[in-house]
Amino acid sequence: MLGLTLRDGARLGALELWHAEEFADHMDRAREHIRPWVGARFVTDDVDGARATLKRYSESQAADGARLYGIWRDDVLVGGVMYVHFDAALGNCEIGCWLEPSAEGHGLVTSASGALVDWALTTRGLHRAEWHCRADNTRSSAVAKRLGMTREGLRREAWPYEGRRYDKEIWAVLATEWKSAAN
């Protein structure tokens, strides 16, 4: 996937190692906003941290695993989507997202996440796409609903953040459900 037009001047594209400085600048704008909702290892503080995150995903993608994509709006990186987990042999993946405040409310995450679900279930032939989020992250749950996912369960106190533990929702869509919704 080299690039995909989303909407309103936005595009989805691979987020690669050579984007490290741009990713670090984006994290400066997004860090405090996304920190409660994404894994601590993902939130970087400088260019070296950004480079390490991008390298980790690049190496995983080379092994047919997790992948990272940026969302650019008017040629500025404003967020992204990812395969947090991608296992072609088992036929499962988990999709995640993040967005800086200036880009919220434009449907970018839903559109980009839908492209990832479609590619995994249709092109790659995976059986199941999952979405995990903190139970109190209503915006994230709403994306899962818009993607046609079913809330399958709740993992109690599974998300640690700042000395407290939060419940985590698990959402999923199966390939047969995705294909029938597309027809």
Q: Write out the chain's pLDDT in tens, 183 residues.
A: 458 989 878 999 999 999 999 999 999 999 999 998 998 888 889 999 999 999 999 999 999 999 999 999 999 999 999 999 999 999 999 999 999 999 998 999 999 999 999 999 999 999 999 999 999 999 999 999 999 999 999 999 999 999 999 999 999 999 999 987 764
Number of domains in the chain: 1
Check residue 52 and give its pLDDT: 96
For helices 108-118 and 175-182, the axis angle rounded to 10 degrees is 110
Check residue 9 and give its pLDDT: 81
Cα Rg of the chain, angstroms: 16
Check residue 17 and give its pLDDT: 95
For helices 47-62 and 20-34, the axis angle rounded to 10 degrees is 100
The tokens for 126 are 């995976």
| Full residue range of the structural domain in which residue 115 is found | 4-182
Check residue 120 and give its pLDDT: 97
User: Could you tell me if 44 and 109 are in contact, meaning their C-beta atoms sit under 8 angstroms apart?
Assistant: no
CA dihedral sign, ordered 163, 133, 96, 36:
negative
The predicted model scores a pTM of 0.93
Check which CATH number belongs to the domain holding 34 and give it. Answer: 3.40.630.30
User: Could you tell me if 98 and 137 are in contact, meaning their C-beta atoms sit under 8 angstroms apart?
Assistant: no
User: Could you tell me if 97 and 61 are in contact, meaning their C-beta atoms sit under 8 angstroms apart?
Assistant: no
User: Could you tell me if 124 and 88 are in contact, meaning their C-beta atoms sit under 8 angstroms apart?
Assistant: yes
Query: What is the largest distance, in Å, between two alpha-carbon atoms of the chain?
Result: 46
**Cα–Cα dist 84/81, whole Å:** 9
Check residue 41 and give its pLDDT: 84
Check residue 113 and give its pLDDT: 97
* Residue whose C-alpha is closest to residue 158's, from 146, 171, 145, 167: 167
